[in-house]
């Protein structure tokens, strides 16, 4: 698997990140281990989880993904070969939502214990906590860096103006800044006014901010749970409409031209825009399909067609 340099660091990570929201919950331990093994076998090293995965599943209260990952790393003895990212901020189990200094310290320690590691490579603020002063949260994250418990910081599900404010505060106070941003992002564009709350979708301002500040942009929900390739899985209502229909038509045409699946073209399109896609899977074959997208080379003309497909009035509100 190809490697990229994480923004503003000397760290090399996989160009495809592996998402583990179903690991240890929807997917049993045997299946989880098999999928993680395959990702690593194919050269991957960047694995993404969160403290609250998978609190939405029946019988789960959060921490299942981190715990299963920790058991897998211990069984495989491969911690030093991996780049582990986790997140905090949403409520789960008996833990309330928030990013107060006390919560940040406590949740970091919980994640370290569940993962069975002595430091987290990348820690995200999973959401924006407007009830806590931003400076308090940023200083607490920096203290984790100074203590050696965390190596890099990221923001997820945040608005661009809040990210810009956070970067300014960190610079003014000489705190470690966010270097990675993880947002909902795929080829289809949401209908105007559509909401994914509490998730936040990438927009042109965020893309521009990441480029100008040299931040690594990471995309989740990239393949819309199979909606690009499985006709029986409808496109989410927030995307559905004439714009989506036109973009899907061009996507399928380009896929035929390059001999790939629509999923692979979506991944290749994101990679061409210097975005790191998070891939997830319930079968080994799905991981293999996603990783094979790294071998697809879209021409400038094909990328231009993909970019311009759909409603022209939306072009200024959406950048690759």
Q: Does residue 211 surpass a pLDDT of 60?
A: yes
Mean pLDDT over 26-46 rounds to 97
CATH of the domain at 58: 3.20.20.100
> What span, in angstroms and rounded, lies between the C-alpha atoms of 13 and 48?
12
Mean pLDDT over 258-265 rounds to 97
DSSP characters for 148-214?
TSEEEEEEES--HHHHHHHHHHHHHHTPPPEEEEEEE--SS-PPTT---TTS-B--HHHHHHHHHTT
High-pLDDT (> 90) share of the chain, %: 91
Residue 34 burial by CB count (10 A; 0-12/13-18/19+): exposed, middle or buried? middle
pLDDT for residue 133? 98
Q: Does residue 212 surpass a pLDDT of 50?
A: yes
Chain segment 171-195, per-residue pLDDT in tens: 999 999 999 999 999 999 999 889 9
According to DSSP, the β-strands at 12-14 and 3-5 are: antiparallel
Tokens of 46: 């960047």
Mean pLDDT over 60-79 rounds to 97
pLDDT for residue 315? 60
pLDDT for residue 45? 97
Q: Is the pTM of this model over 0.75?
A: yes
Instruction: Please count the structural domains in the chain.
Output: 1
Chain segment 262-287, per-residue pLDDT in tens: 999 999 999 999 999 999 999 999 99
pLDDT for residue 318? 52
Mean pLDDT over 18-46 rounds to 97
Mean pLDDT over 158-182 rounds to 97
> What span, in angstroms and rounded, lies between the C-alpha atoms of 320 and 315?
10
Mean pLDDT over 168-173 rounds to 98
Chain segment 71-119, per-residue pLDDT in tens: 999 999 999 999 999 999 999 999 999 999 999 999 999 999 999 999 9
Q: Does residue 292 surpass a pLDDT of 60?
A: yes
Strands annotated E in the chain: 3-5, 12-14, 17-19, 46-48, 83-88, 120-125, 150-156, 178-184, 216-220, 275-279
Residue 139 burial by CB count (10 A; 0-12/13-18/19+): exposed, middle or buried? middle
Q: Does residue 311 surpass a pLDDT of 90?
A: no
Task: Quote the mean pLDDT of the chain.
Answer: 95
Q: Does residue 227 surpass a pLDDT of 70?
A: yes
According to DSSP, the β-strands at 216-220 and 17-19 are: unpaired
Domain enclosing residue 289, as ranges: 3-317
Mean pLDDT over 218-230 rounds to 95
With bands split at pLDDT 50, 70 and 90, how would you rate the model's confidence at 320?
very low
How many CB atoms within 10 Å of residue 98? Answer: 18
Contact, 269 vs 300, CB < 8 A?
no
pLDDT for residue 313? 72
């Amino acid at each position: 698997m190809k490697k990229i340099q994480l923004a503003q660091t000397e760290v090399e990570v996989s160009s495809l990140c592996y998402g583990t929201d179903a690991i240890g919950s929807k997917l049993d331990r045997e299946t989880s281990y098999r999928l993680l093994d395959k990702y690593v076998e194919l050269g991957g090293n960047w694995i993404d989880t969160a403290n609250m995965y998978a609190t939405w599943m029946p019988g789960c209260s959060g921490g299942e993904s981190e715990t299963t990952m920790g058991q897998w790393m211990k069984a495989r003895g491969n911690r030093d070969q991996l780049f582990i990212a986790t997140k905090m901020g949403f409520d789960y189990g008996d833990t309330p939502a928030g990013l107060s200094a006390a919560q940040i310290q406590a949740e970091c320690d919980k994640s370290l214990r569940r993962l069975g590691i002595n430091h987290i490579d990348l820690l995200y603020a999973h959401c924006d906590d407007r009830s806590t002063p931003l400076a308090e949260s940023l200083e607490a994250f920096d203290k984790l860096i100074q203590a050696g418990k965390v190596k890099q910081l990221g923001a997820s599900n945040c608005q661009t103006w809040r990210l810009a404010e956070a970067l300014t505060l960190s610079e003014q106070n000489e705190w470690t800044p966010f270097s990675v941003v993880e947002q909902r992002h795929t080829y289809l564009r949401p209908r105007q006014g559509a909401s994914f709350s509490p998730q936040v979708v990438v927009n042109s301002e965020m893309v521009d901010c990441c480029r100008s500040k040299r931040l690594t942009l990471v995309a989740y929900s990239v393949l819309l749970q199979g909606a690009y390739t499985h006709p029986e899985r409808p496109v989410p209502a927030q995307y559905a409409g004439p714009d989506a229909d036109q973009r899907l038509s061009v996507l399928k045409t380009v896929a035929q031209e390059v001999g790939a699946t629509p999923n692979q073209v979506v991944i290749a399109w994101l990679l061409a825009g210097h975005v790191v896609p998070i891939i997830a899977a319930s079968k080994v074959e799905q991981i293999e399909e996603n990783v094979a997208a790294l071998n697809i080379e879209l021409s400038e003309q094909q990328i231009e067609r993909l970019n311009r497909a759909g409603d022209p009035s939306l072009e200024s509100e959406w950048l690759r």
